[in-house]
A = this chain, B = another copy of it.
Amino acid sequence: MASGNRAVTYMGPRTVKVETYDYPKLVDPRGNKTPHGAILKIVTTNICGSDQHIYRGRFPSPSGMVLGHEMTGEVIETGPDVHFIKKGDLCSVPFNVSCGRCRNCKEGHTDTCMNVNDEADCGAYGFNLGGWQGGQSDYLMVPFADWNLLRFPDKDQAMAKIKDLTLLSDILPTGFHGCIQAGVKPGSTVYIAGAGPVGRCAAASAHLLGASCIIVGDTNNERLALVRSAGYETVNVSSSTPLADQIEAILGQRQVDCGVDAVGFEAHGNGPGAGEDPAAVLNSLIEVVRANGAIGAPGIYTAGDSEAIDEDAKAGRYRIDFGKAWIKSPHISAGQAPIMHYNRDLMMAILWDRMPYLGKLANVEVIPLEKAPEAYRIFDQGSPKKFVIDPHNTTKLVA
């Protein structure tokens, strides 16, 4: 067993460091024993766009917090009440911490577990939501392991597809959830705001769900190029051509069936030089989604951003075109994805080669743990890469 545990640590805005901690124990953030927990040796642990909100100091987190919520790992220790997950299992960890025993978990809403955070009905690793240690590290304690862990049926098969499977801990189910909330089904036309990793996974999800016309909007041309290379349509929202006009040029209609917000609270308006406006993406979706269509917003919004554009925005209050939208019978859903609700299904689709387009969209680069600080910096600058940390070089994919 290892004596130490290296981990990517948030030190303050735009500063992360690799620090060494004690090897994890079967104890929760309140200090209680977790006979239901397991210790994982991390195989892959990804850097997420939401980590970037923290990195930029926009999502309030304490200095010294270990980052990371997108983990895949091998079980190396189990508590006495873990019966179905076994040592040696290779597993994906849903980013939401959930108990599997409260009303919300029983109803499938692991995004709003009532037992893992004293301050809100919502827990996550490395996210100041319940104090659960992040997993950009060598080892991680996962509570309620029988409930939370998704075991890959065959380790060798899984390692061969690890660049796709590592996305199951967050961004693929998150993009998928956005599509489900937006009502994507066979034949749907879809507009996805944001070509970051979640937006690109939403495009892959829309494809898997049978969508017809899939359009992704962003201002970052490198990211949009990835989208086009996978066979979807793109719009650059910094163009002076209005979004609806751009959609009409592609689709022959000014509105789509489904809208996904894969941007979140650091949104900017459309058009050349548009400034930050947390309502901008929501309002453009309200405009371009058809009557009785639906909008899914897995992109993060918060009442905790002290850098927001005005007092309302700091309090999470935005100027939304609700009155304008009403006659269109809108349907809007938001929030974290309940990863467990989707990860097994998506794993099956990957294992049976039904998402051949995923690798191109995700554009994974595997890096060693010590390069994480640099990757945070590059990703913050708009890199089209999805950085995946392999702390032990288990994948042999570290460049």
Contacts and interface: CB of A to CB of B under 8 A. Distances in A.
A278 to B, nearest CB: 6
Given A111-B329, A329-B112, A348-B189, A324 B335 contact: no
Contact of A252 (B101, B153, B185): B153
Interface of A: 32-33, 35-36, 79-81, 83-84, 99-104, 106-109, 111-112, 114-115, 120-122, 146-147, 153, 176, 185-189, 207-213, 252, 265, 278-279, 282-283, 290-292, 297, 300-303, 305, 312-313, 315-336, 340, 342, 344-349, 351-352, 354
A165 to B, nearest CB: 13
Given A109-B292, A348-B187, A328 B335 contact: yes
Contacts of A114: 291
Copies of the polypeptide in the assembly: 4
Nearest to A129: B327
B319 A330 contact: no
Given A278-B323, A303-B321, 17 more contacts: A153-B252, A209-B209, A210-B345, A212-B351, A292-B335, A303-B324, A315-B321, A315-B323, A316-B323, A317-B321, A317-B322, A318-B323, A328-B335, A329-B333, A329-B336, A332-B332, A332-B333
Contact of A188 (B36, B333, B345): B345
A323 B301 contact: yes
Given A84-B101, A189-B348, A292-B111, A324 B316 contact: yes
Nearest to A213: B352
A115 B81 CA distance: 14
A348 B184 CA distance: 13
A186 B277 CA distance: 35
Contacts of A321: 303, 315-317
A88 B325 CA distance: 36
A100 to B, nearest CB: 6
> Could you say which of A332, A344, A351 has the most chain B C-beta atoms within 10 Å of its C-beta?
A332
Given A83-B101, A112-B291, A187-B348, A301 B317 contact: no
Given A84-B102, A101-B83, A292-B107, A327 B336 contact: yes
B335 A112 contact: no
Contacts of A35: 35, 80-81
Given A84-B102, A292-B111, A335 B329 contact: yes
A179 to B, nearest CB: 10
Contacts of A315: 321, 323-324
B330 A301 contact: no
A295 B200 CA distance: 29
Which of A114, A297, A326, A354 gathers most chain B CB within 10 Å? A326
Contact of A320 (B101, B102, B189, B320): B320
Contacts of A301: 322-323, 325-326
Given A210-B354, A318-B323, A84 B330 contact: no
A54 B33 CA distance: 43
B108 A108 contact: yes
Nearest to A187: B345
A209 B184 CA distance: 11
B187 A328 contact: no
Contacts of A283: 317
